[in-house]
Chain A
Amino acid sequence: MKALYKKELMQLLNSPVGFSVPIAFALFLGYLFTKDVFVIGSASMKPFFSVAPWLLFILIPALSMRSISEEKKTNTMEVLLTLPISESHIVFAKLVSIFILIIITLGITLSIPLVLGFLAKLYLPELIVGYVGLLLLSLSFLSFSLYISSKVSNQIASFSLSVIILFLITTLSSDFLANILPKEAQDILLFASPILHLDNFAKGIIDLRSVLYFAIFTSVFYFLTVKELQKRT
């Protein structure tokens, strides 16, 4: 199946979105973060981990919008589904190839703590755990965006739907909702919010509940995407 992974990654890197979006993401995130460092005068990675998810829910749908919807639209999915490859392999290859690009993108942002390290002493385990959290969050968002891409055959619709829904999921933990909802509903929504789980990682805490949350989130949408490809009408 190496050929399939290679093809997916190559197609992604050859597309304009594949190289421009990650660079734009890293530059924009770097700008937002550096601006904060100089305005507030604090050399900490905490603002970085609170801004990053808000950009990830745009980056990830942008990278995954073409993935399945475009194959459906151009009918290349018909060729793919008549090759001796299981549907789970097809989805896994798409997931892995985009995830590799996300790792590269987040890798570029490592220049930020590297520079910050000259200004102040950074606590390395906290930084590593924070990045692990970002990767887990990315994987969940990616799995979800792939599912949306498998449901629609228009890449713009796929992107818009993913961004809107991920925005709603991300804002589950917002102060606005916390103020208007009853306590019980707040607790449930807070647990469902990926931001809350990322916060633990940003503090350098590996909470098993959060790891489980991201694992379940990713697996559910991966499974649903495979089911979508297995559907024969």
Chain B
Amino acid sequence: MIELRKVTKKFGIKEAISSLSFTVKEGEIIGFVGPNGAGKTTTMRLITGLLKPTSGSVRLFDLEPIENRLIVLPRLGYLPENNPLPLDMTVKEYLKYISTVKKEPSLEKIINELNIDDVYEKKIEQLSRGYRQRVGLAAALCGKPDVLLLDEPTSGLDPIEQDVIKDLIKKLAKKRSVIFSTHILSEIEDVATRVLIINHGTLLFDGLKPKGKGSVDTLFKKLIKKS
């Protein structure tokens, strides 16, 4: 579904991503982990076609995502970092607009699934971070995407809201492939089936999630220290 082959991305002279390669198959839940500034968001933006790789190739559903954006984007759900939302709109206005654009026939089902019925008529600016995150997730889910890209979906949330979002990701992943980036290691243990560890734009680990409590944490610290 997603294939990155020797992708390098430079911003000026700074190399944000260095010869990154990995593939994502159907039904995988990938935890994309790394410290702040490791290159997670840049990788997400390369996959969505918002950025162009300096070298290497990105394929989304076997197509180059920038040239074929109108073909690949209906199959992709994306929650960007910090979840930018139009604060002056109500949840209802925003989701109706997104669902129409993405041709989602059953918006009510998504609203129920994400428990946002009670804030549906409210302005987005009045919502708590947790609810905003759910609205962003609902928007990403419209159009029944085959792949969900979630960039730091639990960032800035309190532990209770984090658990709610984690449970939602697990639920959503039953029907599609999910890549979610995070720097919170416990999320990987709870949700992911496969782990990608990145630092300074270089992939340090790509494999199945190690078993046992704290194993991801141990692996991550070991690899980051080495790099």
Which residue numbers of A lie inside 8 Å of B, CB to CB?
Answer: 2-4, 6-7, 10-11, 14-15, 74-76, 78-79, 81-86, 232-233
Contacts and interface: CB of A to CB of B under 8 A. Distances in A.
A1 to B, nearest CB: 8
A11 B89 contact: yes
29 contacts: A4-B97, A4-B101, A6-B97, A7-B93, A7-B97, A11-B89, A14-B88, A15-B88, A74-B84, A75-B80, A75-B84, A76-B84, A76-B85, A76-B86, A78-B45, A78-B50, A78-B84, A79-B80, A82-B48, A82-B49, A82-B73, A82-B78, A82-B80, A83-B101, A84-B73, A84-B102, A84-B143, A232-B51, A232-B52
Given A7-B93, A81-B50, A75 B82 contact: yes
Contacts of B192: none
B74 interface: yes
Contacts of A15: 88
A83 B102 contact: yes
A11 B73 CA distance: 24
Nearest to A76: B84
A229 to B, nearest CB: 11
Contacts, number: 63
A11 B143 CA distance: 23
B110 to A, nearest CB: 16
A73 to B, nearest CB: 10
Contacts of B82: 75
Taking residues whose C-beta sits less than 8 angstroms from the other chain, chain B's interface range is 20 to 34
A2 B76 CA distance: 22
A79 B139 contact: yes
Given A11-B89, A75-B82, A84 B52 contact: no
A82 B93 CA distance: 19
A232 B50 contact: yes
A112 B24 CA distance: 65
Minimum-distance CB pairs A-B, first 8:
A3-B100, A75-B84, A232-B52, A84-B73, A84-B74, A7-B97, A82-B78, A76-B84
Interface in B61-92: 66, 69-70, 73-74, 76, 78, 80, 82, 84-86, 88-89
A86 B70 contact: yes
B165 to A, nearest CB: 18
Given A76-B85, A233-B51, 19 more contacts: A3-B101, A4-B101, A7-B93, A10-B93, A11-B86, A11-B88, A14-B88, A75-B80, A76-B84, A76-B86, A78-B80, A78-B84, A79-B80, A79-B85, A81-B50, A82-B73, A83-B102, A84-B74, A84-B102
B116 interface: no
B20 interface: no
